[in-house]
Structures are given as C-alpha cells and as structure tokens.
A and B are shown apart, each in its own frame.
Chain A
Amino acid sequence: MPSITREEVAHLARLARIELSDAELDHLAPQLDQIIALVGQVSQVAADDIPPTSHALPLTNVMREDVNVPCLTPEQALSGAPAAEEQRFRVPRILEED
C-alpha cells in the first residue's frame, strides 16, 4: 500500500500551482511515495513531551529602528517584470470567465 497515491500527488500539484503532465505524474508519484516512507521515520521517535523547535535561534519579534531608508525606485521595482503598464505590474485576468 503506497503512502501516497497518484491522485493525491495530482491534488498536491494543483495546490502547489504546478501543471503536471501525465508522464510527470507517472514519474514523480512513485518517487514521492519513497520519500514519504523515508521521512515517515520521524514517527519512530517518542517525542510527545518534547517542545517543537521552529528556529535555531530563540528570537521573537525582531524590530529595527523606524527610520526612512532609501528604497527601490518604480523603475527598479518593475525592471524584472514580465509585463508592466503605467508604472504597474500588468497581470493576466484575475477572475474566471463566468
């Protein structure tokens, strides 16, 4: 019994906004299954009473001084844009047709 099915991988690809072809699904699904079996080993560790660590450093809410610093010009900010119009990023239509 696989730890993840081809259909579940197709669902993950949709969630991750990646348009996978059938051939890629055939290739990636069994590999993901193997990887999930490997990472599943973490469940062997008895850690119920262990606090989680999200970060190597015990830091919270780091702020810097609230002072004006130079920032990118509109030209710089748009310099890598696939499409720009009137000093803005031009994007494809956002809404579905119906």
Chain B
Amino acid sequence: MSDLTRKTAVELQELMTSGQASSVEITQAHLDRIAAVDDSVRAFLHVDSEGALAQAAAIDAKRAAGEKLGPLAGVPLALKDVLTQEGVPTTAGSKILEGWKPPYDATVVKRLKAAGIVILGKTNMDEFAMGSSTENSAYGTTHNPWDLNRIPGGSGGGSSAALAAYEAPLAIGTDTGGSIRQPGAFTGTVGVKPTYGGTSRYGLIALASSLDTPGPCARTTLDAALLHEAIAGYDPMDSTSINQPVPAVVEAARRGDVTGLRVGVVKELGGEGYQPGVEARFHEAVELLTKLGAEVVEVSCPHFQYALPAYYLILPSEASSNLAKFDAMRYGLRVGDDGINSAEKVMNLTREAGFGDEVKRRIMLGTHALSSGYYDAYYGQAQKVRTLIQRDFANAYEQVDVLVSPATPTTAFPIGDRADDPIAMYKNDLCTIPVNLAGNAAASFPCGLADEDNLPVGFHVMAPVMRDELLYTVGAALESALAEQWGGVLMAQAPELEVTR
C-alpha cells in the first residue's frame, strides 16, 4: 500500500470500506511513522501502540462481521494530553502529574471510542495548557514540522505537529485562548474551537473553566467536521453543556458554498504588529471569498483591544482556583513527606517542585487579581470588559454572518525567541482571545505561506454561538479554491522530514 499516512480520514475510510486496507494496517503505518520521525518532532508524550492496535483489531473484526460503523471508525487520532484516558498516562505537560493514570475516560474520549476512532497516544502541550509554543511543557518542546528550529504553536502544539508530520490524520485539542487555532495556523492545518458548551469539558483537566473548549484538528476541513460531529453534543456530566442539536458541520463542509454569505473583516485585528506576509495572504483569501460570491465589508469591534488584558485577569483567576487541587494529597507528585513536615509544608514543596515558571506566574497573578482590595479593579473590571466584547460581537453579527481576521499576527517563531518574555508570548493570541471571552465558535484554516519565511498563515473565521457550521462553509470554500490555485493542498508544500529510524 502506498503511503497510508498521507491520506485524509475520508480516504482512509474508503480504503477500509472497500477492503483495500485494514485499520490494523493503517494504525501500524502511523505507529511506524511516529517511530521514524518523532525523535525530531517530539509531538507525542506517550505512544500507546498496544492499545491502539487492539482498538484497530476490534474495529476490523466488527467490520468483518458486517456491523454498521461510523465514518471515522478505524481511523487513528492523536489526543492532547490534557484529556483523561483510562489507564493511559495523562500529565497535562506537568511534572506534578508525571506517571498518573486516570481511572476514567473524559466524555470526548468516550465518544472517540464509541465512534471507533483509534487513539494512538497523548500529545505534548504547554503545562496545563498555559502557553503558545509548547516551550512550557515539562517534557521538552515540540518542533514545527515545517521548520524544526521553530515552535509549532501552543498550547496544543503536539496535536497540530502530529498532523503536519503525518503521524496522525486527526487530533484533538483544547482551546482556552487559541490553543487549537494558533497551532493550527503555525502548522498549516485546520483547527476548530467549537461554541463553548458545544463539546464537553468532563475529563478535561481544567485551565479556565469558563473558557476551555475541546475541539477537532485535522489536515482538511471535511475531516475536521467529521471529528467535530463525533465528539460534540450535550453531556449531562458538564454543567455548562448546551442541550441543543449539534450544528450541521459535515453538511456545511461538503457544500462549502459562500454565495451571499456576509463576511466582516475586523478592522482592529491587523496593522501595526502584524507580519506583512501574514496580512498579504489574509487579504488575498478575503478577495478569493468575494470572487466566490461572499459579500465582504469592514466592521469595527472597538473593545477587542482590551481582550488581551481582560483575558490575562480572568484566566489566571480561574486557573489559580482550578490548580489548587494539586495539593499532593490525592494524586500526583508528593515532595518532602518525611514524617516530620506538615501537610502544608509538603504542599508548598510539591507545588514548588511540580509546577513550571509560567504556571507559577499565572497562579500568583490570579491570586493577586482575586485578593481583597484588588478584586474590583482587576477581576471585576475584566468581567465588565467581557460583557463589552460580547456586545461587540452581537453588534457585528447584526451586519454580517461571520467575522474574519488573520489567526495570528506572525508566523511560527524560532524556539527560544520569546521563551522568557511572557508579554511577547501573550501577544500571539491577540486575534484568538476575543472569541473565548464571548463563547462563540471559531477556526483557523491554512491560507498560504508568508513571503518572508515560507511558513504557513492561518485564516481565522469567527461564527456566532451555535453557528459552528458557518466556519466549515468558509473553510471548505477557501480550501477547494486555494487547492485549485496551488494545484494541491498546502501541506503538499511542506518539506519532507528526515526519517531518523
């Protein structure tokens, strides 16, 4: 069989349905690919070869028995290490959870298994999803397959890099401020943040509970839509789950028709601080949408400029509470339990040893923002700004169906470039953060390479709450028009990785 790892999930399903390849063969091909290139990419923290092959064999047996299977049954996937999978090591990129094996599956994982999707392993991420480069992982940085000296984005850099390195055709990420979309943009892949509440947070190790959203990652729009449909929908185990039908994302991805769609270019997300090559590709994509029949106008969202400061108050406040559970008592690391030290001392020593710098910064920032005397000026004021950002979106959606912007101000930057400059790092997420604060749906789709550095640029689409299908409408339209222009998909322009073993 020619290279199974280059196929889309849809193509792999056709091969399985027609009997040209089994899930075991497909899974083994991806495991071999991981063995061959992951020493240089480092997308995976844990590869579950045995579990994946067993899952694949079970699907093959069901198929042989004539059982009706879903559209992704037997297709392999890379799972971000922030979601619990029973019996498989789950660290969230932190030393404090090293060696922990969860006793239960996250709802997303349960649904992946129910759909027959084969989980290859757990992918690298910034510790507790705090970061934009994977450099904050306690287990080392993931490398961008487009240029191994650069970061793949974050926090879900491992999931997106696994796609771009052909280690998996599908991946799961989580998006709190851009952790699906920004790595998607940096690796030339598709990353979708569903509407908040559209996918379940049960079993997701919480960063900021009012923002965290699991979502699909893939190399094509249709693959992402199929994965979206497999994981989305109401879950009584998540108190903020939306009890409504899943938007018709697959149908939208198949049609990809933007005729008459009203598209708003957000005036505030561009200009100073944006790389010229990023802006050039973005504006070309907007023009292309016009040619395809969309009506494009410029819209203003005046409070977006305060989204970043508001986010860095709301997120650390929630994170400092959520991470209080890492107290060395019930699971994870315990340091200094010598029979003399008190529980409090052990807690202090464990959190000192188990958390990295960025986690400590954000916990202390959140503690500060919530402390008496500062609460109104910081956390309270940030919550008001959140209201104003929601109103900006509401006003914009009275004029247009979707909003668009570049997904990131720049392309992927060199490893080490911003590692100890928190503010420069935070500014990566300028375009992606407003959506998380408002709770609506958004995605990044590849729209070309920047002239300066030949690195991928992401086209960011923002849809209203529970109108996730509009993302796929735009993504699919762009994808097919661009592929026609380029004579193939963007990923075909990625350099070949050296096979190390």
Name the one of B103, B210, B341, B390 contacting A76, with C-beta atoms under 8 angstroms. B103
Name the one of B341, B348, B378, B465 contacting A42, with C-beta atoms under 8 angstroms. B378
Find out whether the CB atom of A18 lies under 8 angstroms from the CB atom of B385: no
Find out whether the CB atom of A52 lies under 8 angstroms from the CB atom of B386: yes
Name the one of B101, B240, B349, B364 contacting A80, with C-beta atoms under 8 angstroms. B101
Find out whether the CB atom of B333 lies under 8 angstroms from the CB atom of A82: yes
Find out whether the CB atom of B331 lies under 8 angstroms from the CB atom of A81: yes
Chain B: which residue is nearest A12 at the CB level? B364
B175 to chain A: closest CB distance in Å? 13
Find out whether the CB atom of A89 lies under 8 angstroms from the CB atom of B240: no
Find out whether the CB atom of B330 lies under 8 angstroms from the CB atom of A89: yes
Roughly how many angstroms separate A46 CA and B385 CA in the complex, as a whole number? 9
Whether B309 is near chain A, meaning CB under 8 Å from some CB there, is yes
Find out whether the CB atom of A55 lies under 8 angstroms from the CB atom of B384: no
CB within 8 Å for A92 and B365 given contacts A42-B385, A51-B384: no
Chain A: which residue is nearest B379 at the CB level? A52
B422 to chain A: closest CB distance in Å? 6
* Binary B-proximity of A74-94 (CB < 8 A = 1, otherwise 0): 001101111100000101111
A13 to chain B: closest CB distance in Å? 6
A26 to chain B: closest CB distance in Å? 13
Roughly how many angstroms separate A38 CA and B465 CA in the complex, as a whole number? 29
> Is the contact region of chain A dominated by helix, strand, or loop, or is it mixed?
loop
A47 to chain B: closest CB distance in Å? 4
CB within 8 Å for A77 and B423 given contacts A42-B385, A50-B387: no
Chain A: which residue is nearest B436 at the CB level? A56
CB within 8 Å for A31 and B361 given contacts A42-B313, A52-B380, A80-B332: yes
| Interface-side segment among B62-70, B282-290, B351-359, B448-456 | B351-359
Find out whether the CB atom of B381 lies under 8 angstroms from the CB atom of A45: yes
B136 to chain A: closest CB distance in Å? 13
Find out whether the CB atom of B104 lies under 8 angstroms from the CB atom of A35: no
Task: Tell me which of A17, A18, A32, A42 has the highest count of chain B C-beta atoms within 10 A of its own C-beta.
Answer: A42
Roughly how many angstroms separate A31 CA and B324 CA in the complex, as a whole number? 22
CB within 8 Å for A59 and B240 given contacts A39-B312, A43-B377, A47-B388: yes
Residues of A within 8 A of B (CB): 4, 8-9, 12-13, 15-21, 24, 27-28, 31-32, 34-36, 38-45, 47, 50-57, 59, 62, 64-65, 72, 76-77, 79-83, 89, 91-96
Residue contacts A-B, CB under 8 angstroms, 25 given? A16-B363, A17-B348, A24-B360, A34-B422, A35-B422, A35-B426, A38-B308, A39-B313, A39-B369, A41-B306, A41-B309, A42-B306, A42-B378, A47-B384, A47-B385, A51-B384, A52-B387, A56-B438, A79-B101, A80-B102, A80-B103, A81-B331, A82-B331, A92-B342, A93-B343
Residues of B within 8 A of A (CB): 100-104, 196-197, 210-211, 236, 239-240, 242, 303, 306, 308-310, 312-313, 320, 324, 327-334, 337, 339, 341-349, 351-352, 355, 357, 360-361, 363-365, 367-369, 371, 377-378, 380-388, 390, 422-423, 426, 437-440, 465
9 further A-B pairs in the complex, CB-CB below 8 A; given A12-B371, A38-B312, A83-B334: A13-B360, A34-B423, A39-B312, A52-B384, A53-B383, A56-B210, A72-B103, A76-B103, A89-B329
